Structure 1
Amino acid sequence: MAVVIVKHKVENYKKWEGFYNDDVQRRQNAGLKEIVHGRNVDSPNEVYLIFETDDAMKAREFLRDPELKEVMDEAGVLDKPEMIILEK
């Protein structure tokens, strides 16, 4: 079991969240179980995502998928996401 933590900045949190919510099936297909997603209280367009997964390699592949990058660009992601995978 692993925990995946992702952080990135977005143009507008509400816009981004709509795209994020619409993409739930692809995350589930990649074996990602959401624990929480939210934004930094002091920087409201800084997004944090935390997932659990049984397959860290599959999660890493999903997060590097060019199709995901296209969705993120449309959603207003401003920077390259930072990703950390923790082994439990």
Structure 2
Amino acid sequence: MPAILVKHAVKDYDSWKPYFDNHDSTRNEYGSQGYRLFRTAEDSNDLVMVFDWDTMEDAQKFLEESDLKDVMEDAGVIGEPEIYFLEEIESKLPEEPLA
């Protein structure tokens, strides 16, 4: 499944998060299949997100055609995000969650 990895800093995570949550319906319209959200251990405002996408083409359309840039600016994203288009080649997950 295609994925997008996005890394960026925000002014304040608690202020940023509602914008992220409210943008979920737009991501879904463009083919998002879910996400994982991380913060770095060093800075709670330094975020990394991995989004699963239905197709790489739809992921590209989302980045180019949606209101993402405006939402990111309004939400307090600092600087230009790092964006990587990923194609999974292998995955190994535990059969049962580790206790």
Q: TM-score under structure 2 normalisation?
A: 0.80
More helix by share: 1
Name the counterpart of 1:40.
Answer: 40
The CA deviation string for residues 31-75 of structure 1, in whole angstroms up to 9 with x for no partner, is 112231121121111111111112112112212336211111110
Detail structure 1 runs of 4+ shifted over 6 Å in the superposition: none
Q: Distance in 1 between matches of 2:67 and 2:60?
A: 14
- Tell me how many residue pairs correspond in the alignment: 88
Q: 1:1-88 residue pairs with structure 2 within 5 A?
A: 1-65=1-65, 67-88=67-88
Larger radius of gyration: 2
Q: Which runs of 5+ in 1 are unaligned?
A: none
Q: Distance in 1 between matches of 2:55 and 2:36?
A: 18
Please tell me the root mean square deviation across aligned C-alpha atoms, in Å.
Answer: 1.4
Q: Secondary structure at the match of 1:80?
A: strand
Percentage identity across paired residues of the two chains: 31
Q: TM-score under structure 1 normalisation?
A: 0.89
* Superposition deviation, residue 20 in structure 1: 0.3
